[in-house]
Structures are given as C-alpha cells and as structure tokens.
Structure 1
Amino acid sequence: MTDHLGELAAIGTAVCWALGSLAFTRAGRRIGSLPLNVIRLALALVFAAAAGLALRGRALPTDATAEQWWWLGLSGFVGYFLGDLCQFRAFIEIGPRLTLLLMALAPPLTALIDFAVLGQRLTPLSLAGMAITLAGVAWVLSERTPAATTPGPASPRLRGILLGLGGALGQAVGLVLSKRGMVGYEPLAGAQIRMLVGLACFVALVLAASAGPRLRAALGDRGALGYATIGALLGPFLGVSLALFALQRTSAGVAASLLSTSPIFIIPLAARLEGERVGVRGLLGAVVAVAGVALLFAG
C-alpha cells in the first residue's frame, strides 16, 4: 500500500509557498522590497546553515568545487537577485495571487530555455502544456480592473505584470544554470551557494543605492521582521525541505506538478487574509494554468 507521503509533502510545499508569499507581501508593504530581500535571505541562510549542520555536518557549502561555485553563483545572481528583485516588487504592486500565477510561467520558460540552449527535446504534450499554461495566465490577466485602466505612463497593474514576468524569467534561467552546478552535489548546499550570492548582490545594491537608512529602519520594524521571519521559515526553509522530501518519495513529474499548485491555494488564502475578491475567471484561470504545468511535466 502506497503511503503517499511524497505527494502530501509536495502539496504541503505549495501551501507553504502560498502562505510565505502572503507574509512577504505584508512585510514588503511595510519596509519595501529591497530591505525585505536582504532580511529574508539572511534569515533563510541562518535556517539553511542549521539544517546543513544537522543533515550534512557542514553549516556552509565549503565542499563545493570552483566549477560548482561558478554555475550555482551565476544561478543565484540571475534567480535569487534579478528574479527575486522583480518578484518581490510584484508582490507589492499586484499582490501575491497574481504574482504566483505569473510565476506559473517559470516551468514553460525553463523548458523553452532547455530546448534552445541545451537541446532538450520538447514533445507535443509538453508544447500543449505550455500553451494551456499561457492561456490560463493570459485569461486571468486580461480581466479588466480599475487599476488596469489607471491613466498614466504605466499603471501599477501593468508594472506588476511586467515585474512578475521578469521574476518568472529569472527563476527559469536560474534553474537552467543551477543544473550545471548541481551535478553530483547536495541540493541543500547548492541552495546555500545561490542564497549567499543573492544576498551579496542585494547588500551591494543597498550600498550602491545608499539604502542603508532604509535597511536600518526596516530592522527596527518588529511587525515587518515578524512577517519576514514567517515567510523565510515557510518558503526557503520548510517549503524547500518538504520539496526535497517530495522528490525523494515520489516521481519528479508528480512532485513538480503538485508543487506548482500554489496559484490555486493562494486564492482562498488571499480572500480570507487579504480580503481580495476573486471571481470565477480568477479561479478557473489558475486551475487551467496549473493543469498546463502538470501536462508539461507529464510530457
């Protein structure tokens, strides 16, 4: 008899990521996306170091080769820095529900980059999954809202959509790059390298933008720190740990499909915790997008 622990862990991961995105959104509204990225990556590194010490006997990835540092560091720059710079600003501009929906485009983008750069084969089923995901996302985003018709050079909704697309692209490119560095290496340690490089880039940006006072003010905001801590626990730490467990206990395709259900779980959470009104189009579009991702992995 199958215990389905892997599938349950994957669903738990999706719920964690949905809740984490809500926590990060609330923190970002209080302190801004740049200080939030510094704080949440620092917290995530502390949690990851504790996990690494317990599971690997190493708090830091000191056993990585120069080649692994290069590819995983480059992945961290693109994914954790550029991608998250866009994604966390999108949380503030359009909220966690639409941002997570846009992030559902990351798997199709990853597959396309794999095809273009690494020569990975795309089956007709995979192409159909990509088209369905794109259709589901486009259907939700095409819904007219007051924010979408705000006069000016760029409405907050349009800015948020573009930022969300940038986040999805950053995640996709980061994943492709990480494949080169993860060969024969521990996933947790690889994630630490990506986090370290991402954090270093955000600290450099804080210095370049003279945003030190903003960061100090953010560190004094207990409410924002509380939300950031919850988000870091649920997302980079507990969520990633459950995802790795899921990949060990079930097939990669099933795990990846269930992991992609965050845009569905976020709908009732956003309605309950954010007071967001979600119509039938928003619900069905999210289901269609996630179904497309599942079809992509099935192919």
Structure 2
Amino acid sequence: MVQAHYGEFAALLVALFWTITALSFEFASIRVGSLAVNIIRLVIGFLFLSTFTLFHRGLFFPSDAGMQNWIWLSLSGLIGFVMGDYFLFHSYVIVGSWFSMLVMTLAPALAALFGWIILGETMDIKNTTALLLTMGGIVLAMFGKGNGQEKLTLNKPVRGIIYAFLGALGQGLGIVLSKKGIEGYNAFAGTQIRIITAIIGFSIIISLTRKWPDIRQAFSHRAGMTGIFIGSFFGPFLGVSFSLLAVSYTKAGIASAIMATVPVLLIPPSIILFKRKITAQEITGSIISIAGIILFFV
C-alpha cells in the first residue's frame, strides 16, 4: 500500500516534519529569542545538509555552482531566509506557530504572483481565485467576537499579523528567485547556497544590533537548544529531502496539497502543548485557506 503511494506518503511525512519544526522553533524562540534560533538552526541545518551532499554528490561545499546560480540563490537566501524567517520567527513569539503557519499558506499564492511579475508566468482565473480563497480563510481566522461584543475585532496582535505576512512575502519571493537560480543545478546544493548567504545576512544583523552575547547565552540554554536541534533536523534537512522525494514519485499538485495541511496538523499540539484557545471560526478559516492552496495545484 505504501509502495503504491510512495510520493503521497512522503508528502504526508513532510507535513508532519514541518509541524514538528514549527512547534520546536516556537518553543525555542520563546526561550532564547528568534534571532538566536534563526542563525543557530541555519548552521546546524547546513552541517546536516553538507554531510548529506558529501555522500550524495561527493562535495561538502557547492563549489561547482556557476555565477548565475550564486547570484540568484544568494538573493533568494537573503529574501526568503533572512527577511522571511526573521519576521516569521518573531511572529512565532507573538501569535504562535499555528497562526503564523496559517498566514504562511499565502506563500505559494504570493510566489505565483511574483512569478507572473518577474518570470512572466501565467496567472489565470484559477490562480486568482485560489489567492482570494486563501486570503479569505486567513481573514476569517483573524477576526472574532470578544467577550460580550457584537462587532468583529482582530483576535491577534496587529504586529504579529504583519510579521507573519512579511514572512510569507519573503518566502514567496524567495521561491521565485530560487527557481531562477536552481536552473540546471542540484537542488540540495542550491539550498546550501541559500543557507550560506542567510548565515552571512544574520551575522551582519546580529553584529549591527550587538546581539552576539545573546547568541552565546543561547548555547547554555538546554531546553532552547533542544528545540533548535529538533527543528533543524526535521525542517531544513528531512523536510527539504522528503519534499523532493514526494514530487519525484507523485504529481507536484498532489504532493503540494498534502504538504499544505500543516496549519490543520498544528491545531491539536497547539491546544495541548501551548494551551492556545482555537475557535471553530479559526479552524474553518484554516480549512478554507488550505482549500485555496489545493486549488493552486489541482
């Protein structure tokens, strides 16, 4: 049964891996700060990935990449990992991983929009409808009635919503730039280039904000480091690897639809582990948003 649906099973594992990753990084960000989580998980992820490429390609470092690969993938790393993940991890602390990942369902829609603007790709009626459906689901989850109130009000801090949206914006644009940079090159090695650039980018931010003492202090926080290590293993390493397997053994649309279920998978652990109150309206918004993502790929 599993062999007959190898790609679908791999996609389901990716969704589970990214669920574990989001929870782990939320846990760690609350304890050691989002900036520390960002740069430490990138270094750990790079070591995991480079060890894999050493056995897979015979190269620990992407030394065979061309100038065009480096330029576009570096831009992708700066916008997707540095800008996108900087704001995403801040949103974890403010609104939690569940709502942040729900807003991140906008990333494929924004990628399609940027692909239309930058690469000249088609943005048809179906894609536009999918974008509106995804946005509608997120908006539904954002609003609710407070205690004794008749009017709908935002049920999440505005700053957290903006940070999550900027995270989705960064990831969406990063996907388009990486697509341009990965042409004719190995996907794993391309991810290495993105991570290398992101490490440099975060190092500059940390130096300018003089946060290196906070980064060093994070290494002594056992619980925080455990969360970072688990998230780094299941996300940048296993998540990326199995997503490539998924699209290799099944249609990209089917794989993407299964992998988009992360916000729904995050609901039970968010309630149990972080004691978050998630309403029926928010769950409905999640389902509508995921339906929009599925529409993109069918």
Q: What TM-score does the superposition give when structure 1 sets the normalisation length? A: 0.94
Q: Which runs of 4+ in 1 moved over 3 A?
A: none
Does the 8 Å CA contact 2:270/2:276 hold for their aligned counterparts?
yes
Does the 8 Å CA contact 1:19/1:269 hold for their aligned counterparts?
no
| Deviation, structure 1 residue 67 | 0.9
Q: Are positions 1:89 and 2:90 aligned together? A: yes
The aligned runs of 1:266-277 (5 Å cut-off) are 266-277=266-277
Task: Call closer, same or farther: CA 1:280–1:156 in 2, change over 3 Å.
Answer: closer
Task: Tell me the amino acid that sits aligned with residue 20 of structure 1.
Answer: T
Give the 3-state SS of the residue equivalent to 2:62 in structure 1. Answer: coil
| Deviation, structure 1 residue 156 | 7.0
Aligned to 1:191: 191
Task: Call closer, same or farther: CA 1:156–1:141 in 2, change over 3 Å.
Answer: closer
The aligned runs of 1:232-243 (5 Å cut-off) are 232-243=232-243
| Deviation, structure 1 residue 126 | 1.6
Q: What TM-score does the superposition give when structure 2 sets the normalisation length? A: 0.94
Q: Are positions 1:244 and 2:213 aligned together? A: no
| Deviation, structure 1 residue 257 | 1.4
Aligned to 1:43: 44
| Deviation, structure 1 residue 57 | 1.2
C-alpha distance in 1 between matches for 2:58 and 2:287: 41
Aligned to 1:32: 33
Aligned to 1:149: none
Task: Tell me the amino acid that sits aligned with residue 161 of structure 1.
Answer: I
C-alpha distance in 2 between matches for 1:13 and 1:102: 18
Does the 8 Å CA contact 2:10/2:243 hold for their aligned counterparts?
yes
Aligned to 1:18: 19
| Deviation, structure 1 residue 117 | 2.0
Task: Call closer, same or farther: CA 1:265–1:50 in 2, change over 3 Å.
Answer: same
| Deviation, structure 1 residue 206 | 1.0
Task: Tell me the amino acid that sits aligned with residue 222 of structure 1.
Answer: R
Give the 3-state SS of the residue equivalent to 1:143 in structure 2. Answer: strand
Aligned to 1:139: 140
Does the 8 Å CA contact 2:142/2:155 hold for their aligned counterparts?
no
C-alpha distance in 1 between matches for 2:203 and 2:156: 26
Percent identity over the alignment? 34
Task: Tell me the amino acid that sits aligned with residue 54 of structure 1.
Answer: F
Runs (5+) with no aligned partner, structure 2: 148-153
| Deviation, structure 1 residue 199 | 0.8
Task: Tell me the amino acid that sits aligned with residue 174 of structure 2.
Answer: G
Equivalent pairs counted in the alignment come to: 291
Q: Deviations over 1:124-165 (max 9, x none)?
A: 22221111111111100112568xxxxxxx997111100000
Aligned to 1:151: none
Q: Are positions 1:111 and 2:112 aligned together? A: yes
Task: Call closer, same or farther: CA 1:273–1:63 in 2, change over 3 Å.
Answer: same
Task: Call closer, same or farther: CA 1:5–1:57 in 2, change over 3 Å.
Answer: same
| Deviation, structure 1 residue 16 | 0.9
The aligned runs of 1:1-299 (5 Å cut-off) are 3-144=4-145, 157-298=157-298
| Deviation, structure 1 residue 245 | 0.6
C-alpha distance in 2 between matches for 1:45 and 1:144: 44
| Deviation, structure 1 residue 272 | 2.0
Task: Tell me the amino acid that sits aligned with residue 272 of structure 1.
Answer: I
Task: Call closer, same or farther: CA 1:144–1:16 in 2, change over 3 Å.
Answer: farther
Please give the root-mean-square deviation of Cα atoms over the aligned residues, in Å.
Answer: 1.6
